[in-house]
Amino acid sequence: RAIRDADQLPVVIKTPRSEYPTSRALANLQHEYSMLRALDLPGVIKALALESRGNSLALVLEDFGGQSLYKLAAQQPFGIEKTLQIAIAVADTLAILHAEPIVHKDLKPHDVLRRSPIC
């Protein structure tokens, strides 16, 4: 997470893990950027920029202050009602993406962000 100098907007910066990423890793980041830029859907984070960063790239995403489902679940286990609410919200967003047609290959609790606390 960072603050963008140009407009003081809070952002999330996603970079490859390696200091010298493979061409495939860079292509994946470029693909993710172009896909996100083409989407304007509820529940899907906005891509703001793709910046050069030394030997790599940095994907700049909006930061709406959300927390990952992974972190929220680690703080306090969810009851059945909250678990079902989350599952329905994720399924609804995936249905919208699949209608585009876009398939999220590796959906993990780290990828699901919530604007406000669940519990």
Tokens at 118, concatenated: 């669940």
This prediction's pTM? 0.77
pLDDT category at 25 given cuts 50, 70, 90 is very high
User: Is residue 60 a contact partner of residue 51, using CB atoms and an 8 Å limit?
Assistant: yes
Q: What is the pLDDT of residues 73-106, one digit of tens each?
A: 899 888 999 999 989 988 998 888 888 877 777 7
User: Is residue 68 a contact partner of residue 86, using CB atoms and an 8 Å limit?
Assistant: no
Tell me, what DSSP letter sits at residue 6?
T
User: Is residue 60 a contact partner of residue 13, using CB atoms and an 8 Å limit?
Assistant: yes
Answer whether residue 119 shows pLDDT above 50: no
- The pLDDT of residue 115: 65
